[in-house]
Amino acid sequence: MIAKNKLHRITIHGFRHSHASILFEAGASIKEVQARLGHKEIQTTMNIYTHVTKTAKEKTAETFKKYMEL
């Protein structure tokens, strides 16, 4: 099914990374994501589990653009 539909194989651990990034992108604080994942150290959440997505990069660029137009 994966090959037939040209999908990438993803592990349960991969879903965990995606879940963290989506939560962060949706506006959850880093502390909320840390608690949800059960991490003792916030650095684990920040450095390993949250990824800057294309959408997040676009939002950042738009924020900067709006600021520069003031």
More confident residue, 2 or 30: 30
| Domain membership flag for residue 56 | yes
CA 54 remoteness from chain centre: 10
Mark out the alpha helices in the chain (DSSP H runs). Answer: 12-25, 30-37, 42-44, 54-68
| Domain membership flag for residue 45 | yes
Residue 17 belongs to domain spanning:
12-68
| Domain membership flag for residue 2 | no
| Domain membership flag for residue 57 | yes
pTM for this model (two decimals): 0.72
* pLDDT band with cut points at 50, 70 and 90 for residue 4: confident
Note whether 49 and 32 are within 8 A (CB): no
Our count of domains for the chain comes to 1
Whole-number pLDDT of residue 32:
97
